[in-house]
Amino acid sequence: MRTDQCLALAKQHHLAGDLAAAHQLYETVLADEPANADVMFRLGVLGLQCATYDEALGWLDRAIGLAPRETRYRFARGQVLYAAGRLAGAIDTYRALLAFDATSADLWFALAGALQSNGDLRGAAAAYESAAALDPSQVDALNNLGNCQRQLGESERAQDAYRRALAVQPNHSNALTNLGTLLQENGQLDAAIELLATALQSAPDSPTCLLNLGVACCANRQFDDAVLLLTRTLELEPRFPEAAYNLGNALHALGRRREAQAQYRHAVTLDPLHADAHNNLGNVSKELGEYKAAADAFDAAIRARPGFVAAYNNAGNLMRTLRRTTDAEALFEAALAVDPRHSASHNNLGNVLKDCGALDEGIAHYRRAIESDPDNVVAHSNLAYALTFQAEDGAAVLEECRRWSAQHETPLRERRLPHTNDRTPTRRLRIGYVAADFRDHCQSLFTVPFFSHHNHEQFEIFCYASVERPDDLTRRLAGYANVWRDVRELDDEHLAQQIRADGIDILIDLAMHMADGRPLLFARKPAPVQVAWLAYPGTTGIEAIDYRLTDPHLDPLNAAGTPGTSDSHYTERSVRLPDSFWCYDPLTDEPAVNALPALTSETFTFGCLNNPCKLTDRTLAMWSAVLREVTQARLLLMAPAGNAHQNLARRVEAQGIDMQRVSFVPFQPRADYLRTYHQIDLGLDTFPYNGHTTSLDSLWMGVPVVTRVGATAVGRGGLTQLANLGLDELAANSDDEFVRTAVELAKDRPRLADLRQHLRPRMEQSPLMDGARFARHVETAYRQMWQAWCAQ
């Protein structure tokens, strides 16, 4: 075969991708023509394609030695250096070539790519501009220019570069995608989705285009669309961890937790170092109640990304759920060691410290959370609620709640819409209840007896439930509603729209500033009349909430029968139910009341099973005085193991109480918790925040509670309960009276034994457990509220 035929065949094989055959034929030609620089150049290009870079450079250097003025040989050498990661050499090569010919758009483009890879974004942007100026059709130069400017933080210039690229080639999928994702980062979701959808039309089987559009749909809460797009992505590219991760996010947002969990697991199988997927796997596993799997996932997230603040936080919240407060505290502190101004970490650490009874320290962290992020509405609500545990008058709480309203409610006021509800005063009303605790939770001890007695002829009952794990009580409560909506996946704005669409007349908040409350929903004023009830009988500070339910004992009228001074502590109008703010049902007859333990024991047991955050120094000082008078008595308290136990023990001892006389029980399942009252002879209440549910539980178990009456609604809960039982004499109006009452009752064993045997039936016959009576009173209040709105 002649040499020219051999060379033609070599080129043919080269173009066809048969590189091995081409290499052999080129060398055959070179054996006949040892000085053929063009063949050496082609062998260099072939080496570039085969990633044998040193061999490629050898051939190109020989070619350049034979033809030193042949720029394409030097250009190829620059390409080999770039591919080999020898960026400085590539940059020098391209610059040297540009010194001879600065009019080559291809050279400027190559230099720009090398500079970009070398981290010189400013130089790369200038080179891309030069390439585009020399060849305005260089769409890739304009697209990459946008990428450099984006990385430099020059968002508007990047947008301009992408738009210039699209002006040349409107269906350029990369420029469409880059502009779309940039607009998404800037919060322009609708425009972003339009561009990303156009990119997908240009490249309908591109996994990257599908992924980006799916992520944008997720960000725009179009979760069903996102699931379809991301599922298609994985069909085309099953080993795409980002697609599996984002599909998990979309499924999670739709409440399809088990499917989401499977996708997160798929993502970490494909990429074991995908920290975000591990983190979200932990979140969904926690929601499913699979705590060991959740802990393992959070650990994996932190190993994959040391200093991963979100994973530390999530792991800390899991430990808090498991009552492992020492571990929780350590995890939140680890997050703050990484980012000392991380608002969520301060908030979460505040929660743990409050749980442990370190209320002042907890409040300090809530304040730091707000200082770090004034828009952290959860931390601000936690602060407002925490202040109720230490405030002996309502002024401090009201002041903080007003600050909450100024920060979080004021921006929403101008977006409120007028209500068009039918103003017929006597018509059947639509009542909506909003809560996350329609489940096995202490709130159900009050919602069950109330909801089960609602008058459905006069009131149509809607429940808006954000329950993480529904249970038998969820299903029971759902049976009392005319309409039950699972709204956990709806944000406040969409939930407000749903409530308006349902035509709710009166909307009741059952959580206020407590955990999982939705105060920003109520701040949007989705219903014409809004009411606060149940979580705690204080103020929300939210101007959009019109009324709060209370009673004459929590908020006494003055001598003239008009609202008393306490009404000035609330932004809401107070509506006093005739008997009690609470209507209670223990939801069980077990365990039964036992005989007074002191009758068969030499030791008398005082007890308080309230959360440690209620055990203020003022409370402990009163208890210390009681124990000094009743020398054979011991004290039984509740605190989780670890820091909470140790912290409380130090504070108890600091008030002069001998720790040999104090014992602790942990938080327990409800049946075991109630059985703990079998060990207690007499309950001691907390101040300035009385026991509420805990005191009702104590009374149900035959254990009377001596209470200290305060000036706030939360400090008068014990009085309400005792007054409705005809036991006002157990409510003390001073510290000395509290001590005297507790000591006298502790010494009167016959009276205590009699109270123990008759308290349960006494409760059952009182307004505290008369669900029908309570429902009538609340419904009368609703009707009066409605008529007032109709008359406006």
- For 470, the token pair is 């529904």
Q: Which of 482, 377, 494 lies closest to 433 in space, CA to CA?
A: 482
pLDDT in tens, 552-587: 999 998 877 777 778 999 999 999 999 999 999 999
Q: Tell me what pLDDT residue 183 has.
A: 92
User: If residue 679 lies in a helix (H) or strand (E), which one and from where to where?
Assistant: none
Q: Tell me what pLDDT residue 56 has.
A: 82
Mean pLDDT over residues 253-273, rounded? 97
Question: What backbone phi and psi angles, to 5 degrees, belong to 186?
Answer: -90, 5
Mean pLDDT over residues 777-785, rounded? 98
User: If residue 605 lies in a helix (H) or strand (E), which one and from where to where?
Assistant: strand 604-608
Question: What backbone phi and psi angles, to 5 degrees, belong to 592?
Answer: -75, 160
Mean pLDDT over residues 10-23, rounded? 87
Provide the pairing of β-strand 459-465 with 429-435: parallel
Asked if 541 and 384 touch (Cβ cutoff 8 Å), the reply is: yes
Provide the pairing of β-strand 483-486 with 459-465: parallel
Q: Over 90: is that where the pLDDT of 29 sits?
A: no
Cα separation, 402 vs 734, whole angstroms: 30
Q: Tell me what pLDDT residue 11 has.
A: 86
Cα separation, 733 vs 729, whole angstroms: 10
Residue 338 half-sphere exposure toward CB, CA atoms < 13 A: 19
Q: Tell me what pLDDT residue 646 has.
A: 86
Q: Tell me what pLDDT residue 128 has.
A: 93
What is the DSSP secondary-structure string of 32-82? H-TT-HHHHHHHHHHHHHTT-HHHHHHHHHHHHHH-TT-HHHHHHHHHHHH
Cβ atoms within 10 A of the Cβ of 262, count? 17
Task: Classify each residue of 595-610 as buried b or exposed e, where b means 16 or more C-beta atoms within 10 Å of its C-beta.
Answer: ebbbeeeeebbbbbbb
Q: Over 90: is that where the pLDDT of 43 sits?
A: no
Cα separation, 271 vs 400, whole angstroms: 47
Q: Tell me what pLDDT residue 670 has.
A: 94
Q: Over 90: is that where the pLDDT of 525 sits?
A: yes
Cα separation, 360 vs 617, whole angstroms: 11
- For 11, the token pair is 């080129």
Find all residues with CB under 8 Å of 376, minimum gap 6, and list them: 343, 344, 347, 369, 370
pLDDT in tens, 591-608: 999 999 999 998 999 999
Banded pLDDT at 175 (limits 50, 70, 90): very high
Q: Tell me what pLDDT residue 47 has.
A: 86
Q: Tell me what pLDDT residue 160 has.
A: 95
Beta bridge partners of 683: 607, 705
What pTM was computed for the model? 0.88
Banded pLDDT at 786 (limits 50, 70, 90): very high
CA–CA–CA angle 239, 244, 249 (5° rounding) = 170
Mean pLDDT over residues 632-645, rounded? 88
Mean pLDDT over residues 529-550, rounded? 96
Mean pLDDT over residues 300-307, rounded? 97
Q: Tell me what pLDDT residue 642 has.
A: 78
Q: Over 90: is that where the pLDDT of 63 sits?
A: no
Percent of the chain residues past pLDDT 70, beyond the cut: 100
Q: Tell me what pLDDT residue 64 has.
A: 86
Question: What interhelical angle do 173-185 and 139-151 show, nearest 10?
Answer: 20
Banded pLDDT at 153 (limits 50, 70, 90): very high
Three-state DSSP state, 680: coil
Banded pLDDT at 207 (limits 50, 70, 90): very high
Q: Tell me what pLDDT residue 281 has.
A: 98
Q: Tell me what pLDDT residue 23 has.
A: 87
Q: Tell me what pLDDT residue 354 has.
A: 93
Q: Would you give the DSSP letter of residue 484?
A: E
pLDDT in tens, 488-523: 989 999 999 999 999 999 999 999 999 899 999 999
Question: What backbone phi and psi angles, to 5 degrees, belong to 59?
Answer: -65, -45
Q: Tell me what pLDDT residue 68 has.
A: 87
Q: Tell me what pLDDT residue 520 has.
A: 97
Q: Tell me what pLDDT residue 305 has.
A: 97
Q: Which domains does the chain have, with CATH numbers?
A: 413-576 (3.40.50.11380), 597-769 (3.40.50.2000)
Cis peptide preceding 241, ω within 30 of 0: no
Cβ atoms within 10 A of the Cβ of 24, count? 12
Cα separation, 490 vs 513, whole angstroms: 19
Lowest mean pLDDT among 21-35, 84-98, 351-365: 21-35
Cα separation, 552 vs 752, whole angstroms: 28
Mean pLDDT of all residues belonging to the chain = 94
Q: Over 90: is that where the pLDDT of 470 sits?
A: yes
Cα separation, 353 vs 358, whole angstroms: 5
Mean pLDDT over residues 74-95, rounded? 90
pLDDT in tens, 714-769: 999 999 999 999 999 999 999 999 999 999 999 999 999 999 999 999 999 999 99
Q: Over 90: is that where the pLDDT of 777 sits?
A: yes
Banded pLDDT at 30 (limits 50, 70, 90): confident
Q: Tell me what pLDDT residue 119 has.
A: 92
CA–CA–CA angle 725, 728, 730 (5° rounding) = 105
Q: Tell me what pLDDT residue 73 has.
A: 85
Distance from first CA to last CA of the chain, Å, rounded? 105
Cis peptide preceding 528, ω within 30 of 0: no
Question: What interhelical angle do 325-338 and 343-355 show, nearest 10?
Answer: 160
Residue identified by tokens 């080559």 is 104
